[in-house]
C-alpha cells in the first residue's frame, strides 16, 4: 500500500534533485573546511572509514530484516547474470566524466566491468537503506560504503581504465613514471591527498586577491582591508566582510571578474574585509570572544573611516557563525542599530541533522579531538583539508588520482583549488568552542551560548537579513542554511544558488547558465519554501548588490583617501597576514 503521507516529502526531494541536476558538483566545488563539524581532524581521515558501533548496528539492522537482504542479494545476482550475457541496461550517469571514454560502451570487456561495478555499488548502498538505521548511523555507514564503492571504481585501476592503457602505450609507460614521482611528492607531507593544483600556479597579490585597497588596521588577530572605490559615488554605509576562520579571506577576491569584492566595489559599495592571522601555538587561547572582539574592532574602524554610525555585515561559513553571535551581543547591549543590514553565505547556525559532517560528530570524538588540539595548541588546516577531501572522494581524491598518478598529467591551474590548498590553522580554544556549539546545537537555544559576556539569542536580531545557500552544497546543506530564517527575528530574504559550497559563492555575472531561486515568504520548512520559490536567471551577486544598496544609505562622493587620522594605512592589499603559511 502506498504511503500517501510520505508523498509530499518525496515530491519535494524530486524537485530538489531536478533543480540541482544541471549543477551537479564537479572538481571545482570544494570541500571547504567547515571547522566545527569534524571531530576527527586531529586523528586522520582514514579513521572515519572504521564504522565502529554504527557498523555493529548496521549488522544488527540487516539481521532484523533478512527478507530485505535476501531480495537485495538476489537482485544483485540477477543483474550480474544479465551483465554476463550482455543484456544489462545499467549505464553511468550522463554527467559522470569517469566513464566518458567510448570503450566503456563499445568494448564488451570494459562494458561488463563497468556494469558489474554499478550493480555491486547500488546493492551495497541499498543495504544501508535496508538496515533501517537512524540519521546518524545511516550517514556514517553511507559515508563508509560510499568511500569503498568510489575507491573500487575500475577507473582507479590502471589495468582496467582504457584511457590509462592508451596513455601507457602512447608514452611507453612514461605516464606512470611521472605519476609515481608526483605520488611520492604529494604523500611526503600533509595533507596526504593528491594535489589539486600546482603550488606555483598562482601568486597571491599578483594573479588573485588583486582588487586595489589598503590595510588600514593591523592587530595581533587580523588585518582590515579597505578597498579602493571604483565609482565616483558610493553608498554612505560601509560593508564589512567576515570571512571563514579556517581559510584565507581571498575566496571573495579571486581572479579579476571572479571577485565578489570587485563586483560590490563596482556597484558603489564601500567594502572592508577582515584578513585573519594564521595562528600558531602561541595563540592557543584565542577563542570565540577573541574573534568576536576582532569583529567589533573592525566595525568600529569601518565606521570611523566612513564617518558613519552604521555598517553592513556579510559573514561567510564559520565567519558567519561568529558574526551572528556578535549580532546577538549587539542586540543584548542595545547596540544592534549599528548594523544596517546583515548577510550570511553558506552558513549553518542550526546543526540539527546538518548533513554528513554533523552526523560524523560525537561527544567522544569531539572530546578526543579538542584534547589533541589543546596539546598542540592549534588544529592544523592541512589536516582539515585532508578530512574534507575524503568527504567527496570521487571529485577530490580519485579524480586527481587518475589525472596526476595514472595519466601523469599536472593538475590544471584553477583559482578556487589554489585557495583551497592555502588553509589557515585554528586555535585550540576556537576549536573547543566551535565543537561545543555544534555538539549542543547551542545557537538554536536562547541564551545557550555567550559572546563577549552577552547571552546569545538570535531571535532578538531583527535586522534585515540576506541568507544565501547552495543547492548542491555537501557541507552546509541548503535546508540547514534555510533554518536560519526561522532563528532571526527580522525580515530575511533567502536565496538558493546553484552549485555547491564554494561555487555558490564564486558566482560572477555573465554565466548564461547561472540562476538562483527565491520566494516572498519563509514558511516553516525548506520543502515548503522550495514549493513556492521562483527561479531567477542570472547571478545572485546582482540581486545581493541591489538588496544591499537599499540598506546602505544614500550615495555620497567617494572618499579621497584610505583610512583616517586614527586609522592610517599600513600597507597595500592584500596585506601581510594572507601570506603566512
Nearest to 103 by CA among 176, 170, 161: 161
In DSSP notation, 328-393 reads: HHHHHTT-GGGEEEEEEES-----TT-SHHHHT--HHHHHHHHHHHHHHSEE-HHHHHHHHHTTSH
Annotation says 317 is catalytic = yes
C-alpha closest to that of 274 among 311, 225, 312, 318: 225
Give the list of residues 6+ apart from residue 466 with CB closer than 8 angstroms, or none: 341, 342, 343, 344, 492, 493, 495, 544, 547, 548
Output the nine-digit C-alpha cell for 292: 568576536
In sequence order, what DSSP letters do the residues of 286-302 get, joined into one string?
A: --HHHHHHHHHHHHHHH
Q: Which helix (H) or strand (E) holds 240?
A: strand 239-242
Give the count of beta carbons closer than 10 Å to the beta carbon of residue 144: 20
HEC string of 83-112 equals HHCCCCCCCCCCCCHHHCCCHHHHCHHHHH
Those residues with Cβ within 8 angstroms of residue 19's Cβ, 6 or more apart along the chain or in another chain: 471, 517, 530
Q: What is the largest CA-CA distance in the chain?
A: 82
* Residue 361 burial class via C-beta count within 10 angstroms: exposed 0-12, middle 13-18, buried 19 and up: buried
Closest CA to 429 of 382, 380, 384, 373: 373
- Which value, in Å, is the radius of gyration of the alpha carbons in the chain? 25
Neighbours of 337 (CB within 10 A): 11
> In angstroms, rounded to a whole number, what is the distance separating the alpha carbons of residues 336 and 457?
13
The three grid cell numbers given for residue 261, joined into one nine-digit string: 569584492
State the SS3 of 57-89.
HHHHHHHHCHHHHHHHHHHHHHHHHHHHCCCCC
Given the C-alpha cell 592503457, which residue does it identify? 165
Q: Which residues pair with 557 in a beta bridge?
A: 233
- Is 527 buried (19+), middle (13-18) or exposed (0-12) by CB count in 10 A? middle
- Whether residue 413 contacts residue 344, with contact meaning beta carbons closer than 8 Å, is answered with no
Task: Give me the active site residues, please.
Answer: 317
Amino acid at each position: 500500500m502506498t504511503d500517501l503521507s510520505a508523498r509530499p516529502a518525496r515530491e519535494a526531494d524530486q524537485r530538489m534533485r531536478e533543480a540541482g541536476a544541471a549543477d551537479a558538483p564537479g572538481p571545482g566545488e570544494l570541500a571547504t573546511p567547515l571547522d566545527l563539524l569534524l571531530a576527527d581532524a586531529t586523528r586522520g581521515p582514514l579513521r572515519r572509514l572504521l564504522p565502529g558501533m554504527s557498523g555493529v548496528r548496521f549488522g544488527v539492522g540487516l539481521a532484523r530484516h533478512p527478507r530485505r537482504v535476501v531480495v537485495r542479494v538476489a537482485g544483485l545476482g540477477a543483474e550480474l547474470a544479465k551483465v554476463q550475457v550482455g543484456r544489462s541496461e545499467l549505464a553511468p550517469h550522463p554527467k559522470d566524466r569517469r566513464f566518458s571514454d567510448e570503450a566503456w560502451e563499445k568494448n564488451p570487456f570494459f562494458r561488463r566491468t563497468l556494469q558489474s561495478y554499478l550493480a555491486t555499488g547500488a546493492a551495497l548502498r541499498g543495504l544501508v537503506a535496508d538496515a533501517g538505521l537512524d540519521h546518524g548511523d545511516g550517514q556514517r555507514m553511507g559515508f563508509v560504503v560510499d568511500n569503498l564503492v568510489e575507491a573500487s571504481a575500475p577507473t582507479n585501476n590502471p589495468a582496467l581504465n582504457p584511457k590509462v592503457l592508451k596513455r601507457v602505450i602512447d608514452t611507453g609507460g612514461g605516464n606512470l613514471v611521472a605519476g609515481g614521482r608526483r605520488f611520492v611528492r604529494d604523500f611526503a607531507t600533509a595533507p596526504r591527498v593528491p594535489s589539486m593544483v600546482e603550488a606555483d600556479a598562482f601568486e597571491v597579490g599578483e594573479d588573485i586577491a588583486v582588487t586595489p585597497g589598503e590595510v588600514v588596521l593591523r592587530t595581533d588577530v587580523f588585518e582590515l582591508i579597505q578597498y579602493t572605490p571604483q565609482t565616483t559615488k558610493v553608498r554612505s554605509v560601509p560593508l564589512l566582510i567576515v570571512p571563514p576562520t579556517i581559510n584565507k579571506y581571498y575566496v571573495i577576491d579571486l581572479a579579476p571578474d571572479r571577485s565578489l569584492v570587485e563586483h560590490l566595489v563596482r556597484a558603489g559599495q564601500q567594502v572592508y574585509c577582515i584578513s585573519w592571522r594564521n595562528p600558531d601555538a602561541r595563540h592557543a587561547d584565542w577563542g570565540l570572544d577573541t574573534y568576536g572582539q576582532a569583529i567589533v574592532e573592525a566595525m568600529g574602524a569601518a565606521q570611523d573611516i566612513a564617518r558613519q554610525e552604521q555598517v553592513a555585515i556579510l559573514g561567510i561559513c564559520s565567519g558567519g557563525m561568529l558574526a551572528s553571535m556578535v549580532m546577538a551581543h549587539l542586540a543584548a547591549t542595545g547596540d544592534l542599530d549599528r548594523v544596517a543590514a546583515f548577510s550570511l553565505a553558506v552558513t549553518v547556525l542550526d546543526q540539527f541533522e546538518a548533513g554528513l559532517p554533523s552526523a560524523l560528530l560525537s561527544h567522544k570524538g569531539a572530546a578526543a579531538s579538542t584534547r589533541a588540539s589543546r596539546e598542540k595548541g592549534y588544529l592544523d588546516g592541512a589536516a582539515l583539508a585532508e578530512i574534507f577531501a575524503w568527504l567527496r572522494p570521487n571529485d577530490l581524491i580519485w579524480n586527481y588520482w587518475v589525472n596526476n598518478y595514472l595519466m601523469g598529467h599536472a593538475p590544471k591551474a584553477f583559482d578556487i583549488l589554489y585557495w583551497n590548498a592555502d588553509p589557515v590553522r585554528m586555535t585550540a580554544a576556537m576549536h573547543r568552542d566551535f565543537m561545543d556549539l555544534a555538539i549542543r546545537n547551542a545557537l538554536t537555544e536562547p541564551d545557550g551560548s555567550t559572546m563577549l559576556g552577552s547571552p546569545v539569542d538570535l531571535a532578538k536580531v531583527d535586522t534585515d537579513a540576506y541568507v544565501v545557500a547552495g543547492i548542491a552544497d555537501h557541507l552546509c546543506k541548503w535546508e540547514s542554511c534555510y533554518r536560519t530564517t526561522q532563528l532571526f527575528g527580522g525580515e530575511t530574504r533567502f536565496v538558493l544558488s546553484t552549485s555547491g559550497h564554494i561555487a555558490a559563492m564564486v558566482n560572477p555575472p555573465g554565466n548564461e547558465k547561472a540562476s538562483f531561486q527565491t520566494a516572498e515568504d519563509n514558511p516553516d520548512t525548506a520543502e515548503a519554501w522550495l514549493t513556492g520559490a521562483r527561479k531567477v536567471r542570472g547571478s545572485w551577486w546582482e540581486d545581493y548588490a541591489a538588496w544591499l544598496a537599499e540598506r546602505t544609505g544614500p550615495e555620497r562622493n567617494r572618499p579621497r583617501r584610505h583610512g583616517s587620522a586614527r586609522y592610517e594605512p599600513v600597507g597595500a592589499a592584500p596585506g601581510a597576514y594572507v601570506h603566512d603559511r
